[in-house]
Amino acid sequence: MRKKIVAGNWKMNLNAEEASNLVNGVCTALENIKLDESIHIVFGPPAPYLPLVKSMIPSILTETALVAAQNCHSEPKGAYTGEVAASMLSDIACDYVILGHSERRKYFKEDNELLNKKVQQALANDLEVIFCCGESLEQRNAGVLFDVVKDQLTAIFDLSEEDFKKVVIAYEPVWAIGTGVTASPEQAQEMHAYIRKLIAEQYSEAIAENTTILYGGSVKPANAVELFANADVDGGLVGGASLKDADFVDIIKAIV
Ligand code: PEP
């Protein structure tokens, strides 16, 4: 059975005190929600707060509540001032790394070739990858949304089967990120089913069935239930609504 995941991407937000309050609030609520082993709740703080967040997760939740970095470098080490290597994330017991987010593609010009190297680094260092893909509004309106997503997935389609099993896909239409506009459940399901079909063609039906595909883009408590009800939507990657414990918890409840 494939994993269900609700992951929060905090982006460059919160300070240490706010981070502590948020994690405390969510973990306290989680202790009262029945979560089976197939569910992961992931906090994605800015890199300096990863150890703090990890240390705040109570032992009863260590299998369920995990942490994600928002980036890693494409090289193992060296003269890359300001960068963080995948091995360093692994060293501080980070569980996941988010790669290919549209903000990194846009502001840091990350392309398929670079992302492929980052994914390889992450997997070589025992991190699981949340790999983001998604089309812009212009691309959707031009009818090339499926071609765009297919092209973005080529960055991970040369992975071995064993490595690919450690990748979670997050479909995040760019026009829905941080805009308050959410893909309809039908739009999300259509793309998720397409992604799963591509995985089946590239790897196998069994691998496609076991791959977790998250939806991201203005997920909130008001729309999470209907989004997560789709057969191919296995949870969400949540930006803005992951910064408030009550909202994040309500979204988590939608996956249970
Ligand atoms: C994101 O940044 O991954 C995201 C989905 O943001 P938001 O939920 O705010 O649209």
Percent of the chain with pLDDT over 70: 100
- Tens of pLDDT, residue by residue over 93-147, are 999 999 999 999 999 999 999 999 999 999 999 999 999 999 999 999 999 999 9
Probe target for ligand 1 pocket from 218, 242, 247, 248, with the most ligand atoms within 8 Å of CB: 218
Q: Look at residues 167, 165, 247 and name the one whose alpha carbon lies nearest to residue 204.
A: 165
Stretch 160-189: mean pLDDT, rounded? Answer: 98
190 is catalytic: no
Stretch 52-65: mean pLDDT, rounded? Answer: 96
Q: Which amino acid is at 129?
A: V
Of residues 53 and 34, the one with the higher pLDDT is 53
Asked if the model's pLDDT at residue 80 lies above 90, the reply is yes
Q: Of the listed 73, 128, 172, 192, which one is catalytic?
A: 172
Q: Which atom of ligand 1 is nearest to the CA of 242?
A: 8
Q: Which atom of ligand 1 is nearest to the CA of 179?
A: 10
Q: Look at residues 98, 119, 101 and name the one whose alpha carbon lies nearest to residue 110.
A: 101
Question: What are the DSSP calls for the chain, one per residue?
Answer: ---EEEEEE--S---HHHHHHHHHHHHHHHTTS---TTEEEEEE--GGGHHHHHHHS-GGGTTTEEEEES---SSSSSS-TT---HHHHHHTT--EEEE--HHHHHHS---HHHHHHHHHHHHHTT-EEEEEE---HHHHHTT-HHHHHHHHHTTTTTS-HHHHTTEEEEE--GGGTTTS----HHHHHHHHHHHHHHHHHHS-HHHHHH--EEEESS--HHHHHHHHTSTT--EEEESGGGGSHHHHHHHHHTT-
What distance in angstroms lies between residue 178's CA and the mean position of ligand 1's atoms? 5
Cβ-Cβ contacts under 8 Å for 58 (sequence gap 6 or more)? 27, 31
Structure tokens at 219: 């997920």
- In this predicted structure, what is the pLDDT of residue 204? 98
192 is catalytic: no
Percent of the chain with pLDDT over 90: 97
In CATH, which superfamily holds the domain spanning 4-253?
Aldolase class I (3.20.20.70)
Q: Which atom of ligand 1 is nearest to the CA of 241?
A: 8
Indicate the average pLDDT of the chain. 97
- In this predicted structure, what is the pLDDT of residue 205? 98
In the chain, where the domains are located: 4-253
Pocket residues: Cβ below 6 A from ligand 1: 9, 172, 177-178, 216-219, 237-241
Stretch 66-93: mean pLDDT, rounded? Answer: 98
C-alpha to C-alpha distance for 207 and 199, rounded to whole angstroms:
7
- In this predicted structure, what is the pLDDT of residue 1? 85
Q: How many CA atoms lie within 13 A of 186 on its CB side?
A: 0
C-alpha to C-alpha distance for 238 and 249, rounded to whole angstroms:
11
Asked if the model's pLDDT at residue 50 lies above 90, the reply is yes
The two beta strands, 167-171 and 213-216, are: parallel
C-alpha to C-alpha distance for 48 and 27, rounded to whole angstroms:
20
Probe target for ligand 1 pocket from 9, 43, 171, 179, with the most ligand atoms within 8 Å of CB: 9
Stretch 40-55: mean pLDDT, rounded? Answer: 98
Q: Look at residues 99, 236, 109 and name the one whose alpha carbon lies nearest to residue 177.
A: 236
Stretch 39-67: mean pLDDT, rounded? Answer: 97
Q: Of the listed 101, 110, 128, 135, which one is catalytic?
A: 101
Q: Which amino acid is at 143?
A: G
Probe target for ligand 1 pocket from 171, 172, 182, 215, with the most ligand atoms within 8 Å of CB: 172
What distance in angstroms lies between residue 204's CA and the mean position of ligand 1's atoms? 30
Distance in angstroms between the alpha carbons of the first and the last residue of the chain: 14
Cβ-Cβ contacts under 8 Å for 83 (sequence gap 6 or more)? 73
